[in-house]
Amino acid sequence: MINVKRISHATFETPDIERLTDYYIGVIGLVPLQREQDRVLFVSRLGDVSVILTRGSAPNLTKIAFQVSPQDDLQTHARFLSDQGIRSSVDRVSLPGIERMLTFRDPKGTTIEIFSEKTTASPVREPTAVGPTKLGHIAFMMPDIHPFIAFYQKILGFRVSDWQEDFFCFMRCGADHHTINFAAGKSTRLHHMAFELKDWAHVQTACDHLGRKDVPIIWGPGRHGISHNIFIYHRDPDDQIIELYTEMDQMLDEELGYFEPRPWHKDRPQRPKVWDRKSAALIWGPPQGPDHARQRNME
């Protein structure tokens, strides 16, 4: 299998690239590194590529990029994919900090990009707006989540961190509690995308900034049960849910099999398990709002 280590960046199509560019600069605080008529590349406050926007007919997440070990050979991974009946290619790319990519598609048609070595795309000295540290995770919805869980386990080496009953699966590829989520829903689409913030004070700063920009917080602040991260959610101009979070659970040693102990854990040690709906949602904070809940019912 291909043992991915971390998520790097995501590529989105949008019908209004100018409007979404203004959002990522003025609200989220990513820094535009390359701007073209139909493509904008953003880096985080740490200088890593985080989001790429391309012009399209409708909002859509088209690509997710992951990093593997620098010792991994992309051609070897391509041969593994071929043995699994998956078409792929290894190509040189014109992406700051990354030279070569292995590219293939997952079962729902999202392009998966794999690279082994990178350098910082661009130094960013002073964060602007919210200024997240990285793209943290991406959550999808589909009527049947099980084939996708199996694919990410078998092909990309993901591990199941937790379940919310039988309809929401949280999966990790590195120490972070989750990098990819799959939730049962009426259609196959993005559920939300999340950016990591430095700490609780950074979340408060983000709340104030969203208030100044007249961007409603549709859920939060609160602390989830599953993964125990502090969170706030809002919607971007394309009506996609964006989460800003901090203090996510960490699986620092896979052999130990439990998450790094934290004062707010109720299980000691905190191991992967199946959570009920109520305890999964919140340790503290307001209940889920209707604008957040409608995501799973969208066609």
Q: Which of 173, 167, 103 is nearest to 138 (CA)?
A: 173
pLDDT of residue 299: 63
Tens digit of each residue's pLDDT (9 = 90 or more) over 128-154: 789 999 999 999 999 999 999 999 999
Q: Give 194: exposed, middle or buried? Use CB within 10 Å, 0-12, 13-18, 19+.
A: buried
Q: Which of 232, 250, 252 is nearest to 241 (CA)?
A: 232
Alpha-carbon span 129 to 216, nearest angstrom: 16
Indicate the CATH number for domain 134-297.
Answer: 3.10.180.10
pLDDT of residue 161: 98
Instruction: Provide CATH 3.10.180.10 ranges for the chain.
Output: 6-115, 134-297
Alpha-carbon span 173 to 157, nearest angstrom: 7
Tens digit of each residue's pLDDT (9 = 90 or more) over 49-98: 999 999 999 999 999 999 999 999 999 999 999 999 999 999 999 888 89
Using DSSP's 3-state secondary structure scheme, residue 177 falls into coil
The pLDDT-based confidence of 294 (bands split at 50, 70, 90) is confident
* CATH level 2 (architecture), domain 6-115: Roll (3.10)
pLDDT of residue 118: 80
pLDDT of residue 125: 64
Alpha-carbon span 166 to 275, nearest angstrom: 9
Q: Which of 209, 198, 50 is nearest to 137 (CA)?
A: 50
Alpha-carbon span 275 to 289, nearest angstrom: 20
